[in-house]
């Protein structure tokens, strides 16, 4: 079943109040299992269903290739963030065939787009064995020894979580055992061992929308996947954020924003295909539909930014965020690290005065189109110094945000957008295209 996550457009007051917290999900909350039952050998080990709301410690958490999230405890699992437990061997029957108690030590979804034969496969770790599944089917040749598939990684793990390039330095997997963390480079199969003494011993780990969560007991702690740093007040009770439990959830009263109420301030896609939309002091990922949607404070991912941004665009490996008469440049590959010396005046960086209304850069181009009122400025980013190459009037007033991809240019005005084949047609077009509505499928709003 597909999990339905809390709308990214939950009221901003709630979202800002939770700016240092994990995402609050509407329809994806969980209930913790009671106690892990052990049973004499030879007896049927399938007893009463555990309850996630009673405060248990999960054995493993992982999404599948469709974005459904599985939570494991003993011989049971939960599909998604709400609903009752069911026997894990109903979905992954081979786990029970090989390990009769069905206990999963760790699990993660592989991110390795350079090798599509393993990308999006789910890996389960049981004692000294690893299982690879795709579409709930065990891959031929599995299980194998952990050392055969992941050399340098110990058996009897506590947790595992994928870490794509850009969030980690390379496409990696983080393995947890006691207070030791093994960072495994998927391409080179090299391992770096770390000790994050300040982080609790993770019994399961979960990556959701570029955020990393260590689950311990019935609590969780959000951490940085490279440094292990913990930002904000943790631990927090998982029942308040990752599951629907009576008396615990505080997101139930928040209402989803209607699509007719959406107004974007900026939108962009980086060179890795990650799409971000900015609204007021919040942002959301647009390219991760299978994992759900959620609004997060902009300052969580882009340090030093507070309040509303005016325009955003990507050039090379950098993201440019324009706010007032200042421009901030972040290194995307370094998990959005602000480049030393920034922010700088917009006049010094791009040769124009702020504020601006929108900016966009088409794929494989080095001309950024900056919209200010009913004028569009073409600025050559490859030139030194950067300056306005061309100034042209545009027929559309009050543009809120602009975006350009392989399909052309889209300019957003309130809850609608207009599509153009290229920037030239945007400038020269005499007839306004038919407006298209911001969709619930893309933005998670309600019609």
pLDDT of 153 above 80: yes
pLDDT of 6 above 50: no
* Alpha-carbon span 90 to 88, nearest angstrom: 5
CB neighbourhood size of 32 (10 A)? 24
What are the tokens at 118?
């393993």
Asked if residue 4 is part of any domain, the answer here is no
Which residue range forms the structural domain that includes residue 271? 259-443
Asked if residue 246 is part of any domain, the answer here is no
User: Do the Cβ atoms of 215 and 203 come closer than 8 Å?
Assistant: yes
169 lies in the same domain as 275: no
Label residue 167 by pLDDT band (50, 70, 90): confident
Phi, psi of 356 (to 5 degrees): -125, 165
CA nearest to 71, candidates 190, 205, 201, 186:
205
Asked if residue 84 is part of any domain, the answer here is yes
What are the tokens at 266?
């900026």
Label residue 98 by pLDDT band (50, 70, 90): low
Asked if residue 89 is part of any domain, the answer here is yes
Q: What is the pLDDT of residue 102?
A: 57
Asked if residue 216 is part of any domain, the answer here is yes
424 lies in the same domain as 306: yes
Q: How far does Cα 441 stand from its chain's mean position?
A: 17
pLDDT of 179 above 50: yes
Phi, psi of 349 (to 5 degrees): -85, -45
pLDDT of 441 above 80: no
* Alpha-carbon span 365 to 359, nearest angstrom: 13
Low-confidence winner among 53-62, 158-167, 265-274 (lowest mean pLDDT): 265-274
- Which residues make beta-bridge pairs with 323? 326
Asked if residue 167 is part of any domain, the answer here is yes
Tens of pLDDT along 202-224?
999 999 888 999 999 999 999 99
Residue 276's CATH number: 2.110.10.10
Phi, psi of 214 (to 5 degrees): -105, 120
Over residues 84-89, the mean pLDDT reads 89
Asked if residue 1 is part of any domain, the answer here is no
Label residue 254 by pLDDT band (50, 70, 90): very low
Label residue 39 by pLDDT band (50, 70, 90): very low
CB neighbourhood size of 57 (10 A)? 17
313 lies in the same domain as 166: no
Asked if residue 282 is part of any domain, the answer here is yes
Q: What is the pLDDT of residue 251?
A: 40
Residues sharing a CB contact under 8 Å with residue 262, sequence separation 6 or more, in sequence order: 9, 279, 414, 415, 438, 443, 445
């Amino acid at each position: 079943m597909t999990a339905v996550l809390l709308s990214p457009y939950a009221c901003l007051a709630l979202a800002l109040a939770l700016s240092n917290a994990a995402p609050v999900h509407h329809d994806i909350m969980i209930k913790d299992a009671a106690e892990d039952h052990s049973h004499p050998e030879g007896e049927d080990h399938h007893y009463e269903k555990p309850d996630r709301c009673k405060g248990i410690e999960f054995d493993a958490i992982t999404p599948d290739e469709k974005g459904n999230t599985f939570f494991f405890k003993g011989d049971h699992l939960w599909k998604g963030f709400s609903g009752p437990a069911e026997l894990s061997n109903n979905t992954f029957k081979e786990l029970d065939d090989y390990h009769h108690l069905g206990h999963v030590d760790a699990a993660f979804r592989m991110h390795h787009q350079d090798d599509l034969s393993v990308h999006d496969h789910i890996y389960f770790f049981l004692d000294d064995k690893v299982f690879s599944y795709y579409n709930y089917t065990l891959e031929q040749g599995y299980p194998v020894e952990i050392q055969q598939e992941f050399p340098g990684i110990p058996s009897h793990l506590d947790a595992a979580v994928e870490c794509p390039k850009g969030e980690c330095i390379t496409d990696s997997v983080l393995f947890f055992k006691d207070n030791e963390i093994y960072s495994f480079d998927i391409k080179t199969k090299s391992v770096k061992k770390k000790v994050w003494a300040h982080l609790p011993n993770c019994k399961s780990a979960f990556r959701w929308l570029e955020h990393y969560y260590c689950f311990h007991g019935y609590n969780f702690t959000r951490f940085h996947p490279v440094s292990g740093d913990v930002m904000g007040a943790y631990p927090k009770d998982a029942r308040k954020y990752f599951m629907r439990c009576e008396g615990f959830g505080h997101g139930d009263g928040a209402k989803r924003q209607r699509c007719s109420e959406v107004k974007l301030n900026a939108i962009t896609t980086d060179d890795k295909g990650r799409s971000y939309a900015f609204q007021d002091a919040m942002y959301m990922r647009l390219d991760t539909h299978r994992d759900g949607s959620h609004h997060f404070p902009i300052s969580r991912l882009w340090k030093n930014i507070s309040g509303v941004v005016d325009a955003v665009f990507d050039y090379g490996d950098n993201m440019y965020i324009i706010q007032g008469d200042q421009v901030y440049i972040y290194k995307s590959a370094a998990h959005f690290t602000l480049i030393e010396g920034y922010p700088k005046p917009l006049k010094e960086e791009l040769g124009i005065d702020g504020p601006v209304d929108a900016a966009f850069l088409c794929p494989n181009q080095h001309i950024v189109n900056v919209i200010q009122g009913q004028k569009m400025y073409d600025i050559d980013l490859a030139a030194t110094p950067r300056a306005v190459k061309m100034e042209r009037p545009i027929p559309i007033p009050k543009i809120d945000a602009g975006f350009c991809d392989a399909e052309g240019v889209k300019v957003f005005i309130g809850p609608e957008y207009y599509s153009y084949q290229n920037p030239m047609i945007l400038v020269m077009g005499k007839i306004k295209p038919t407006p298209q509505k911001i969709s619930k499928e893309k933005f998670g709003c309600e019609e």
